[in-house]
């Protein structure tokens, strides 16, 4: 290759083996997502201790359980457009710093109001971190493995939540509930140092925004040395172009129906996830289980997210919309049966785990679906807005169960109601497929090149 050669960035990434440099990016993004899962779910695991120590009622827990979710939504909605304008790296660094400091501070809370405020700030940082990690990873992935790698990375979220449950079951009796939040704050601050030293900017973002060719060359040369001989870089988008940027892409005529269906599906998925993860320990305890056993069984629900890896492989080979829609439909059935199994601990353990596998497989696959749906100029906003608007589903799920308990719904009645959200999510993705049946077919899409 001579110094006058032009290199197409995505073609270059597609044609070379997945390098140690790309695995490093994957590992850093995986840890960001894992900590997001840990910090997001932590409040559900410490909830019984808050009730005991501060003498508050279960419905009074709804604001503190949902405060981080409001923050998550705000953080995602704001950070997406900023990511498409300022870059993925800057937003990722700032968000990890914010949620680390806020979670650490929340471990010193002395009142429910103070904890609620700090959980909101923690949520803002978490909400900004997740979509930027997904977008960064997606823009360093080869096309043929994008869904598999993003789903594998996104497994960090349910694993972090499950790990938090197992840790909480051990830490709270020995060190108190504050120790869980302390750990959730210190770890991101340590990660922040690693990100500052090792995390690059997205190479696709640099090309699309005409950043210095030396920076692009340096990043690609860490994938394969021959990139150091390139004089210019181009990028071909397979997704339809709108001429806009950020939110202008997401809300454009070409993308608006798909965007809304992604929002609905992710919203309904989080209704199920947060209704379960925040309230299952309390509901199982009220159903007669010991607090420790209730926490351990509840921790099986997010642990099921490892099934997303297989789903990613299927998404890379078959129709992604239909595969995830099927997972949501099966989730609805399994969540319903959680409510029927409370009298049998063995059956309950099995059904909670199966429901978790299906639920988290579907939910963990959604960011990869969104990342593939949008072009580079709108990818950061598209992924972030799906995650941000979807977070209101988590808020709705938390308040839904609070209201159902206030109305004295039975254990079975609560889970039957929550299960309906899975049906709605499945239908939304099927409508997205009908609206743009060839959206994932690269040859049919219009292409546009960017050069530098």
Instruction: Output the pLDDT for position 410.
Output: 80
Q: Is residue 267 included in any domain, yes or no?
A: yes
DSSP state string for 11-31: HHHHHS---HHHHHHHHHHHH
Instruction: Output the pLDDT for position 446.
Output: 40
How far CA 83 is from CA of 337, 349, 392, in Å, comes to 41, 41, 21
Q: Is residue 104 included in any domain, yes or no?
A: yes
Q: Is residue 249 included in any domain, yes or no?
A: yes
pLDDT single digits (tens) 207-242? 888 888 888 888 888 888 887 877 788 877 665 555
pLDDT, the chain, mean: 81
Instruction: Output the pLDDT for position 3.
Output: 55
pLDDT band at 41 (very low <50, low <70, confident <90, very high): confident
Domain at 189, CATH number? 1.20.1250.20
pLDDT single digits (tens) 157-172? 878 877 777 788 788 8
Q: How far apart are CA 20 and CA 148, in angstroms?
A: 17
β-bridge mates for residue 451, sequence order: 234
Residue 249: how many CB atoms within 10 A of its CB? 26
pLDDT single digits (tens) 178-197? 888 888 889 999 999 999 99
**Residue 443: is its pLDDT beyond 50?**
no
Q: Is residue 137 included in any domain, yes or no?
A: yes
In terms of pLDDT, which residue wins out, 199 or 231?
199
Instruction: Output the pLDDT for position 304.
Output: 57
List the structure tokens of 430.
């099927």
Residue 61: how many CB atoms within 10 A of its CB? 23
pLDDT single digits (tens) 238-289? 655 555 666 788 888 878 888 899 999 999 998 988 888 777 777 777 776 7
**Residue 448: is its pLDDT beyond 50?**
no
Distance of CA 12 to the CA centre of its chain: 28
Q: Are 355 and 301 in contact (CB under 8 A)?
A: yes
Instruction: Output the pLDDT for position 442.
Output: 38
Q: Is residue 289 included in any domain, yes or no?
A: yes
State in Å, rounded, how far the first CA of the chain is from the last one: 17
What are the start-end ranges of the H helices in 87-155? 88-106, 112-138, 146-154
Which DSSP category does 241 fall into? P
**Residue 67: is its pLDDT beyond 70?**
yes
- Domain hosting 372: range is 6-451
Q: Are 302 and 165 in contact (CB under 8 A)?
A: yes
Q: How far apart are CA 449 and CA 451, in angstroms?
A: 7
Mean pLDDT along residues 61-90: 83
Total structural domains within the chain: 1
Residue 318: how many CB atoms within 10 A of its CB? 11
Mean pLDDT along residues 409-427: 87
pLDDT band at 29 (very low <50, low <70, confident <90, very high): very high
Q: How far apart are CA 421 and CA 360, in angstroms?
A: 14
Q: Are 341 and 347 in contact (CB under 8 A)?
A: yes
Q: Is residue 313 included in any domain, yes or no?
A: yes
pLDDT single digits (tens) 306-365? 667 777 778 778 888 888 999 899 999 988 888 777 777 778 878 888 888 888 888 888
Q: Is residue 1 included in any domain, yes or no?
A: no
Q: Is residue 65 included in any domain, yes or no?
A: yes
Instruction: Output the pLDDT for position 245.
Output: 65
**Residue 28: is its pLDDT beyond 90?**
yes
Kindly give, in sequence order, each residue whose CB lies less than 8 Å from that of residue 190, ignoring residues fewer than 6 positions away: none
Residue 21: how many CB atoms within 10 A of its CB? 17
CA-closest candidate to residue 204, choices 26, 375, 17, 27: 375
pLDDT single digits (tens) 85-142? 888 899 999 999 999 999 899 888 888 888 889 989 998 998 899 888 988 888 888 8
């Amino acid at each position: 290759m001579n110094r006058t050669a032009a290199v197409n960035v995505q073609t270059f990434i597609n044609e070379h083996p997945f390098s140690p440099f790309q695995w490093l990016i994957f590992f850093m993004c995986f840890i960001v997502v894992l900590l997001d899962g840990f910090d997001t779910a932590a409040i559900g695991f410490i909830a019984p201790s808050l009730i005991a120590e501060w003498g508050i009622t279960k419905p009074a827990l709804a604001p503190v359980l949902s405060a981080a979710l409001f923050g998550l939504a705000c953080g995602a909605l704001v950070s997406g457009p900023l990511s498409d304008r300022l870059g993925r790296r800057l937003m990722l660094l700032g968000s990890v710093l914010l949620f680390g400091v806020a979670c650490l501070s929340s471990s010193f809370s002395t009142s429910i109001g103070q904890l609620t405020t700090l959980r909101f700030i923690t949520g803002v940082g978490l909400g900004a971190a997740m979509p930027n990690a997904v977008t960064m990873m997606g823009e360093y992935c080869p096309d043929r493995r994008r869904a598999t790698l993003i789903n594998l990375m996104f497994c960090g979220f349910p694993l972090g939540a499950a790990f938090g449950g197992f840790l909480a079951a051990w830490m709270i009796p020995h060190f108190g509930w504050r120790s869980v939040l302390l750990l959730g704050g210190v770890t991101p601050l340590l990660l922040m140092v690693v990100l500052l030293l090792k995390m690059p900017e997205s190479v696709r973002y640099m090309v699309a925004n005409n950043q210095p060719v030396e920076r692009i060359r340096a990043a690609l040369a860490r994938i394969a040395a021959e990139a150091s001989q390139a004089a210019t870089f181009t990028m071909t988008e397979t997704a339809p172009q709108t001429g806009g940027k950020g939110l202008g892409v997401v809300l454009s005529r070409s993308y608006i129906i798909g965007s809304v269906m992604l929002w609905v599906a992710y919203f309904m998925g989080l209704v199920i996830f947060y209704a379960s993860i925040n309230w299952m320990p309390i509901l199982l305890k009220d159903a007669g289980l010991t607090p420790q056993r209730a926490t351990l069984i509840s921790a099986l629900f997010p642990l099921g997210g490892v099934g997303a890896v297989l789903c990613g492989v299927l998404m890379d080979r078959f129709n992604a919309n239909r595969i995830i829609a099927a997972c949501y439909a099966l989730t609805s059935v399994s969540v319903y049966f959680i409510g029927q199994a409370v009298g049998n601990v063995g059956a309950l353990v099995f059904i909670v785990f199966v429901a978790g596998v299906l639920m988290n497989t579907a939910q963990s696959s959604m960011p990869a679906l969104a990342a593939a749906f949008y072009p580079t100029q709108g990818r950061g906003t598209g992924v972030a807005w799906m995650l941000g608007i979807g977070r209101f589903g988590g808020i709705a799920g938390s308040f839904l169960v609070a209201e159902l308990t206030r109305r004295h719904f039975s254990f079975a009645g609560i889970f039957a109601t929550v299960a309906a959200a899975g049906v709605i999510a499945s239908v939304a993705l099927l409508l997205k497929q009908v609206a743009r049946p060839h959206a994932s077919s690269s040859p049919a899409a219009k292409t546009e090149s960017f050069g530098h």
